Amino acid sequence: MPSEFQEPAKRHLWMHFTRMGSYADHEVPVIARGEGCYVYDEYGKRYLDGLSALYCVNIGHGRAEIGEAAARQAAELGFYTNWSYAHPRSIELAARIAELAPGNLNRVFFTSGGSEAVESAWKLAKAYHAARGAPTRHKIISRHLSYHGTSMGALTITGLPALRAPFEPLTPGGAHVPNTNSYRWSEDRDPLWAADAIEEAIEFEEPATVAAVILEPVQNGGGCFVPQEGYFQRVREICDRHGVLLISDEVICSWGRIGHWFGSERYGYEPDMITTAKGITSAYAPLGAVIAGDHIAEPFMHGKSIFNHGFTFGGHPVACAVALANIDVIEREGLCQRVLENEGALRSMLESLCDLPIVGDVRGAGYFMAIELVKDKDTKETFDAAESEELLRGFLSGELYKRGLICRTDDRGDPIVQFSPPLIAGQQQFDEIEAVLRPVLAEAYERMSSWSSLSRA
């Protein structure tokens, strides 16, 4: 019997990135409670949250101390703006972030989330160049299949045509270069060719018009593409040579997700700015930030200069209090180190699935991994659009959920299954993932073989 939530959910709630028509004859999945690595639906069924909700509940669900921190702050000061004022928690959090961030990234501009952080970083890059006498530098370069958000500026940066096309014309100024998916490269390709493609793009666009390059340490869109050794060092050299800023988009890759406070630390590069969100509060409250180098902030720190930009709720006192408590947990429980110690076990589990004919590649870093699904492992032939629809939405997504595993199936690029468990996860959870994933993938391959045969008949 449907619960009390089903009728109002179908009648009034407009979910994000969701085919609402899918629920005409099916119940809306309603997650009602969370504890540790698990969540429970409205009927009490338990699911392993293999995606940390959306790459963000880093410390796990149900941490009462985080709610208590929020309650204390709400009782003291529920809200005050950071427009021309400050409050204790935003000051404390900015200082704490500056202590943890690499190099001279000491200035923290708060937003409400990731898209706002990306939007703000691009605007700051433009404003920085204009303040230094280079107002023509307004363009930004990102990678094919990259996801950087859905507000109009962030959507320009996003490298996913299917997301962009319905809302064109977009904010002008975006350019896109190849990503680092070496699984799809020829064997004789120079391992740093994708980095060199960034220089080609800067030169094509004319360096005097390019403000910034924005890259994720591990690219989410397309399925956890990792950089080649030396990639970011080459990119840093290219940006410096042409006077272009380097923005590290770490909305996902910070706060321990790939084993370090910030993903740029893992790959040994120092950006001019970092964008962050998600794990900064483990999603217990909405918050994002741009962390800028002292040199980026310097032009705006004198006289009547101003970065004329902001959001009402950026640096909300309750969200900042939650972030401080969240960082305390990550630090006290050594969750960055835990990820580094356990990522090999997670990878080994996923690589053990390579004996299945549908598993083509396993990639990622830390607790941010993906497997790419293929039609033919020897040739790396992928599934066409109709086959992907049948594979991912027709079977895999629903079947995994039915068997108690939440992960991400996606075909923004080639079909993948993606995993991003809470940082507290360990071997028990990895075993549970395999116990569900192996038989479901085996069945998926058999179904697709039959479906392809029927579609050709």
pLDDT-derived band at 60 (thresholds 50, 70, 90) equals very high
pLDDT at 453: 60
* pLDDT at residue 213, as a whole number: 99
Closest CA to 205 of 271, 146, 136: 136
Q: pLDDT for 215-255, tens place per residue?
A: 999 999 999 999 999 999 999 999 999 999 999 999 999 99
Supply 22's token pair: 């899918």
For 336, list phi and psi in degrees, rounded to 5: -60, -50
Q: What is the mean predicted confidence (pLDDT) over 138-155? A: 97
CB half-sphere exposure, 75, CA atoms < 13 A: 6
Residue 188: CB partners within 8 Å, gap ≥ 6?
Answer: none
φ/ψ (deg, to 5) at 355: -75, -10
Strands across the sheet containing 139-143: 105-111, 288-293, 273-276, 245-250, 210-215, 139-143, 174-177
* Torsion angle of the four alpha carbons 255, 258, 261, 263, in this order, in degrees rounded to the nearest 10: -110
pLDDT above 90: residue 206:
yes
d(CA 454, CA 230): 47
Confidence at 451, pLDDT banded by 50, 70, 90: confident
pLDDT tens figures, 307-340: 999 999 999 999 999 999 999 999 999 999 999 9
CA distances from 279 to 34, 73, 100, 251, 276 (A): 16, 20, 14, 8, 8
The structure tokens listed for 321 are 């209090």
What integer is the mean pLDDT of 248-269? Answer: 98
Kindly tell me if the per-residue pLDDT of 191 is higher than 90. yes
pLDDT at residue 50, as a whole number: 98
Mean pLDDT, rounded, of the chain: 96
Residue 148 has pLDDT above 90, yes or no: yes
401 pLDDT band (50/70/90 cuts)?
A: very high
3-state helix, strand, coil in the chain (%, to 5): 45, 15, 40
- In whole angstroms, what is the distance from residue 327 CA to residue 98 CA? 13
Where does 313-412 have alpha helices with state H? 317-332, 335-351, 385-388, 397-402
**Could you tell me what percent of the chain has a pLDDT over 90?**
94
Query: 81 near 310, Cβ under 8 Å?
Result: no
Predicted confidence at residue 454, as pLDDT, reads 56
| Cβ–Cβ < 8 Å for 448, 375 | yes
pLDDT tens for 5-25 read 999 999 999 999 989 998 988
> Could you tell me which of 323, 337, 250 has the C-alpha nearest to residue 286?
323
* Cβ 38 vs Cβ 425: under 8 Å: no
